[in-house]
A = this chain, B = another copy of it.
Amino acid sequence: MADPAELYEEPAERADDPDAHHRLVQELSGAASDQDASYARELLLEMHPADIADLIEQLAWEQQDQLARLAPDLFTGDVLAELAVDTRGDVVDALDPVHIAEALADLDSDDMTLVVEELDDEKRAAVLAAVSAEDRQYLERSLAFEEETAGRLMQREFVAAPQFWTVGDTIDHMRMAGEDLPDLFFEVFVIDEGFKPIGAVPVSKLMRSQRAVPLSEIMDPTKIIIRPEDDQEDAAYLFEKYHLISAPVVDDDGRLAGMLTVDDIVDVIQEENKEDMLALAGVNDAGQSDTVFSSVKARAPWLLVNLGTAVFASAIIALFDEAITQLVALAVLMPIVASMGGNAGTQSLAVAVRSIASRDLTMSNSMRVIWRELAAGAVNGVIFAIVMGIVAGLWFQDWALGGVIAISMVITLACAGLAGILVPLGLRRMGADPAVASSVFVTTVTDVVGFFVFLGLGALVLL
């Protein structure tokens, strides 16, 4: 048992000491480069798997590879399960299939899936051949589900009890079952004679109740049932909304087949949030791309699309080249209108994407929200029309020019607000992810409107 006094001084996991962490990474990195397996083992001795995984993630790709070849025993099942998905993919490449199969034996079924789904086909076959027949059958069934579905996330270890059991029956059963139960569980699922989940009893409630009470009396009736083919994002939404700790997953016949638990859902939520944020910024890959090549690959496609739209916006400018030659102030000021439009559009877009993700933006309030975005854009347009009108008027000593930029600002910012909400709503209606690509569409709208209105009005009024 740890000395509590010591824990109070400075619990290792809380110690926010970036220097110590940095030194540890340096030492581990040195051990990998020097091929010093025993020093690497010593460094990671008695650490929590999550901390070991954390340190390994900090190494460069080559060193992760070296370490996996040098000291595969460090990569226990728990450490593999804790690694970030990209690192896990790299590390399992370097590990022997037999080692991977052994590491899997310690894991709950959902964590086994996490590891195996990162293997390439050949290695996956070798690992599947080396695990127990039971695990193999489970893994094959799990991998048959699409990625990012509840089927991939679910755990087949769960505790179920028939509805006619009492609290006492259930407790006795659990004391007997021992090893076959999951390490941790929070609810006992109550099933009917067809193995269908009809309710759940939180373990804390079970523990508080008298032995003679039938489960059916104290259970909460099952309202949320997850199907293996459900998107993990939908499952996460249900957990979040109803504050679930675990939820039953049923097969095609409605029979209890597994459960989802909140700790896996926390990871899903983080993953989905990351995807949304990167998608909005035009980065494809959800993983943290660690190499220059993967970074370029994740970003070039959207830069190419952006180039296309930027050239299109330039073609608008080219329509007014005569006007610009006569009044160069138009060229000086036009990026301000476009920049403000782009910014206002991005603000509106981020609010919309977030509201869609949290399911706050629905059919019932979308008209109201569209109207609000248009109005907010127009109001900001008026505010900055006044400011920029004065700045431009003073700068170029030309109040007509100030008037032109002011009017353009109002029109562009109102369009920006509208585009920021209509583009993601439109993408959603077409069944696409509202975060992906929407910022390119929005800034195309704001650039085109901004340049066209400002230069067009300028040519009309000032020349």
Contacts and interface: CB of A to CB of B under 8 A. Distances in A.
Contacts of A383: 296, 300
A336 B335 CA distance: 11
Most chain-B CB neighbours within 10 Å: which of A8, A282, A358?
Answer: A8
Interface in A318-363: 318, 321, 324-325, 328-329, 331-336, 338-340, 342-344, 346-347, 349-351, 353-355, 358, 360, 362-363
Contacts of A48: 223, 242
A192 B328 contact: no
B263 A388 contact: no
A38 interface: no
18 contacts: A2-B222, A4-B198, A8-B225, A13-B242, A14-B225, A57-B360, A203-B204, A266-B266, A281-B349, A288-B351, A288-B355, A302-B347, A303-B384, A307-B388, A313-B335, A321-B329, A321-B332, A339-B443
Interface string A111-126: 0000000000000000
A372 B263 contact: no
Interface residues of A, number: 144
A346 to B, nearest CB: 5
A63 to B, nearest CB: 11
A211 to B, nearest CB: 9
Contact of A58 (B205, B273, B364): B364
B224 A11 contact: yes
Contacts of A7: 198, 221-223, 225
Given A11-B223, A391-B311, A22 B328 contact: no
B4 A192 contact: yes
A343 B282 contact: yes
A202 interface: yes
Nearest to A300: B380
A281 B22 contact: no
A209 B307 CA distance: 65
A96 to B, nearest CB: 27
Interface string A373-407: 10110011001100110010000000000000000
B273 A262 contact: no
Interface string A172-208: 0011011001101110000010001011001111111
Contacts of A127: none
Interface in A1-48: 1-2, 4, 7-8, 11-14, 18-19, 21-22, 25-26, 29, 48
Nearest to A49: B242
B311 A336 contact: yes
A452 interface: no
Contacts of A300: 380, 383
Contacts of A391: 311
A50 interface: yes
A282 B313 contact: no
Given A203-B204, A306-B340, A263 B245 contact: yes
Contacts of A311: 336, 391
A216 to B, nearest CB: 7
A278 B348 CA distance: 10
A310 interface: yes
A84 B358 CA distance: 11
Contacts of A222: 2, 4, 7, 11
Contacts of A2: 198, 221-223
Interface stretch (A66-74, A141-149, A233-241): A233-241
A54 interface: yes
Nearest 5 Cβ contacts at the A-B interface: A281-B350, A331-B331, A295-B376, A25-B364, A243-B263
